[in-house]
Amino acid sequence: MKKITVAVDSFKGSLSSREVAEAVARGVNSVLPQCEIRCVSIADGGEGTVEALVHTLRGEFVDVEVADPLMRRIVARYGVVDGGTTAVMEMAAASGLPLLSEEERNPLKTTTYGTGEMIADALCRGCRKILMGIGGSATNDAGVGMMQALGFRFFDAAGEELSGGGEILSRIATIDDSGVMPQLREAEITVACDVTNPLYGDEGAAYVYAPQKGADRAMVEQLDRGLRNFAEVVMRHNGEDFASLAGAGAAGGLGGGFKALIGAKLERGVDMVLRAIRFDDIVSGSDLVITGEGRIDRQTVMGKAPSGVLRVAQSHNIPVIAIGGAVEMCEELEQSAFVAILPVVAGPIALERAMQRDVAAANVERTACQIARIITRKI
């Protein structure tokens, strides 16, 4: 065993992607000190994506003052990689649900304006590629707030300019994009989008996701009507028919707004991340790949980070072992191409204890040591 690539998602609430990978490396090297181990921080486009990409691509973090979902000033962080040409962001840093208390959650009022301010800051710094994760939103404004921060203007039937959250969607009659930042027209934006919901309807943004953002039934119906109206206005504006696009309903319609008015590409999160770090080149020549995440279950093989790693490794005929803080075996996992799926917890233990950083790291290291012992023996 000459080369092992370790590409593990974070164990959320416990260890970062980098910390899990380092624990794996310690465990393997305790048995195979001469083995070359390449540790790669990865994510699936959700929480931890910025940290993973900045670490793997040796970028830097940028702090910028932006509006939170209720237009209060906060400091949000994003990353710059590839020599300053690419920005990596999570919309939740500016427009995420955790920025609000339970009482403040109201998608009629919340806006993605701060996400647009992050993008504008990156464009002004010279970034012309933007990788954006859109999970964890507090909003249902179809990205209108974001677009206002970038120079778009939205008017009602009387010609009055509109501003605010999801409540304005039903009042929008025309769109003016003449004042959009010129840098935006030069930019290539990729949005990590793992949901397939359309913009509106029973499976759309409002009905499926708005309740967890504070919407009651009447709000949901109002937001859905607003999304329908917005789709019609966009169709009149530029001919884009995006309402039924898979992923248009992501993040309260932000996925659809990105695609319809900015021309962004919607892509599965892990594919976006692995392409950005050039994982295909990294894994080439490896004898083994070790991947994993905090919880391995049916969702793992449905587009989560380990499944993306497995897909790339398979193209090189490299075996893959998955480890998880918890493993819930199912038919989908049994039929997957992982050569082994291993829980890192050795026995009964309270969840709070298992998630403590030192305990989790020790469990990962011990599991990696056992993997190394197995692969050194010819049975």
pLDDT in tens, 29-42: 999 999 999 999 99
* The CATH number of the domain covering residues in 49-270: 3.90.1510.10
Share of residues in the chain with pLDDT > 70 (%) = 99
**Residues 242-282: pLDDT tens digits?**
999 999 999 999 999 999 999 999 999 999 999 999 999 99
> Average per-residue pLDDT in the chain?
95
Closest CA to 192 of 150, 144, 137, 234: 137
Q: What angle do CA 26, 4, 268 make, to 5 degrees?
A: 105
Q: Looking at the DSSP assignment, which residues form a beta bridge with residue 341?
A: 322
Return the CATH fold of 3-41+283-376: Rossmann fold (3.40.50)
Per-residue pLDDT at 379 exceeds 50: no
Token pair 């707004």 is found at 257
pLDDT band at 13 (very low <50, low <70, confident <90, very high): confident
Q: Are 111 and 95 in contact (CB under 8 A)?
A: yes
What is the average pLDDT across 39-64? Answer: 93
Domain ranges within the chain, ordered by starting residue: 3-41+283-376, 49-270
**Residues 321-348: pLDDT tens digits?**
999 999 999 999 999 999 999 999 988 8
In this structure, what are the phi and psi dihedrals at residue 265, rounded to the nearest 5 degrees?
-100, 130
**Residues 220-229: pLDDT tens digits?**
999 999 999 9
- The pLDDT of residue 349 is 86
